[in-house]
Structure 1
Amino acid sequence: MDALIYLNGEKVDYENAKVSVEDRGFLFGDGIYEVIRVYNGRFFYLNRHIERLKKGAEQIYLDLDFGVENLVETIKKAVKESGFKDASVYVQVTRGAAPRQHAFPSNTKCTWLVIVREVKPQPQEYYENGVMAITVPDERWTRCNIKTVQLLANCIAKEKAKRAGAYEAIFHRGDIITEASSSNVFMVKDGKIFTHPANNLILHGITRYAVLEIIKNNNFELYEETFSKEKLFEADEVFLTGTMTEVMPIVKIDGKIIGDGVPGKITMKIMEDFRRLTETIDC
């Protein structure tokens, strides 16, 4: 089984998982989503993903009419039925189907989707040796803290990285580094760790949150403040965080070697602590 799917609370075969041609997610990108990781049958911060989904729904005036508790039960049921020990759970909610108009329609029912897939781990050499990234202008809207399905700018950036032979594309607004196409960005300089503040210009990543806790537990100096492309290139270490990325060291950006060109000690320590965390968290 490649994927297990629940659509609007009902289990369906992949080929029968269909939505209306007038679904607002299809027509307008009018919806939100989450990607939740399961490690050896344990959910990694499921509660935080659900809270972010609820907050995102509030911010776009979306009524989760199917019930959040129903969604959580469906997620847990789907993972159990899949039989996958290590899985990703994709959750998407749209405003539903209605004749096309920009203003939000009245009396529509949400379309909600849960897809469970078995996780294929990233190549181990990525974590051992580090990966490359490029920088691209951040051309997204200014509500990046809402995890909407409007991801075309992210997709274009990821495609640019792919064509450049890089793992990820790092966004900058003007000269300021924000985040990456599907991950948050951290840099280390002189033992101090920097990452963009959690405002409207970045997604408040769940893995980012976990890494912030790891940083505090290790008494590393942390600065949630903006930094420039120039500072990024001068960093001793750079790493990414994300649900599927986990903690990923970056050793080259735009062809420029970062630090010594190998994953740094602080990055490696955070990576080790994160992996231990995935063995214990179940919520």
Structure 2
Amino acid sequence: MIFFKDGEYLQEEQMNLSINDRGYAFGDGVYEVIKVYDGMLYTANEHLERLIESAAKIKISLPYTLEQLIEITEELQQKNELSTGHIYLQVTRGVAPRAHQFPDQNMPPVVTGYTVENPRPVEQLAAGAAMKSVEDMRWLRCDIKSLNLLGNVLAKQEAVESGCQEALFVRDGIVREGSASNVFGIKEGVLYTHPANHFILNGITRRVVLRLASELSLPVVEKEFTLEEACSMAEFFFTSTNAEITPVVTIDGRTVGKGVPGMITKQLQKMFEAQIPVLVAAGQAQERDANGPAS
């Protein structure tokens, strides 16, 4: 595998990460996961814009522009011949002796990246998943895609130990998001989801779903709702880069709707999937334009 680190593309044995990296010592950094379908990046601009925003929120100045970050992800995909999977990019504040305060402002951040080959979760997309509610005790800046994921890890493990695929964070009685996803409910033909504030990460797939809902003329209400209201939805699903639009059939062992993926959820899934070949065709056309006419 070819890795990226601070402007270089390296073999695994060439990768050298310092124990004094603030990402290792404090989780002092941010990251993004960018999906690749059939060798083409999906919503890369949106992901990388959010990476820049997350870095700015924790006062890290990225050494790359959006255009350069796009080039890095494209290069990683090509060098690793990634077909379907994702690209992971991480930015830490840099390498410095361990101290809570920021190091010297001239300390450059560390930017790394790599690729992961993984198929679409077609079985889960068709059958649906189970969620377990977990008390949300994380910090209050969930809008930042931070490396500080211990709360998410513990919630996910609790869900897995209960035989569920995803955790459902509940804070002050209000459903917030999943441990690695955003959540949506459908009732009486209306799509409900938590507003994009500091309690949740404004997921890229979440934004795609809101656009698809608009194309479907499906009314959307961004408002808080309780766990009891979530369980009483006719349909429920969670979204993420790798989970796409995953139907939820039980919450805390309680059946959601009819206990199978709902009609509107399946319609949104079909619309989402229909974008993939369009995306690939557009990407291939861009490559042909960049390379000039075939000889």
TM over 0.5: yes
Q: How much has 1:119 moved relative to structure 2?
A: 1.8
Q: How much has 1:125 moved relative to structure 2?
A: 2.7
Contact 2:92–2:110, Cα closer than 8 Å, also in 1 = yes
Report 1:88-237 matches (<5 A): 88-106=86-104, 107-122=106-121, 124-237=122-235
Q: How much has 1:174 moved relative to structure 2?
A: 1.5
Contact 1:184–1:208, Cα closer than 8 Å, also in 2 = yes
How many equivalent residue pairs? 280
RMSD: 1.3
1:24 to 8, 22, 25: 22
SS in 2 for 1:279: helix
**Structure having greater relative contact order (Cα 8 Å, sep ≥ 6):** 1
User: Aligned AA for 1:18?
Assistant: N
What residue in structure 1 maps to residue 262 of structure 2? 264
Q: How much has 1:224 moved relative to structure 2?
A: 0.5
Q: How much has 1:58 moved relative to structure 2?
A: 1.1
SS in 1 for 2:271: helix
The alpha-carbon distance between structure 1 residues 15 and 139, as it changes in their structure 2 partners (threshold 3 A), is farther
SS in 1 for 2:186: strand
1:45 to 43, 46, 52: 43
User: Aligned AA for 1:57?
Assistant: A
4+ residue runs over 6 A deviation: none
The separation in 1 between residues aligned to 2:189 and 2:262, in whole angstroms, is 10
Contact 1:4–1:117, Cα closer than 8 Å, also in 2 = no
Residue by residue over 1:152-208, the C-alpha shift from the partner in whole angstroms, topping out at 9 and shown as x without a partner, is 000001111111111100001021000000000000111111000000110010000
The separation in 2 between residues aligned to 1:76 and 1:8, in whole angstroms, is 16
The separation in 1 between residues aligned to 2:69 and 2:238, in whole angstroms, is 29
TM-score w.r.t. length of structure 2: 0.92
Q: Which moved more, 1:100-109 or 1:219-228?
A: 100-109
Residue ranges of structure 2 left out of the alignment (5+ in a row): 284-295
User: Aligned AA for 1:85?
Assistant: S
TM-score w.r.t. length of structure 1: 0.96
SS in 2 for 1:239: strand
Residue by residue over 1:60-116, the C-alpha shift from the partner in whole angstroms, topping out at 9 and shown as x without a partner, is 110112444433222111101111221200000001101111111112111111111
Q: How much has 1:35 moved relative to structure 2?
A: 0.1
Contact 1:66–1:110, Cα closer than 8 Å, also in 2 = no
User: Aligned AA for 2:236?
Assistant: V
The separation in 2 between residues aligned to 1:81 and 1:22, in whole angstroms, is 29
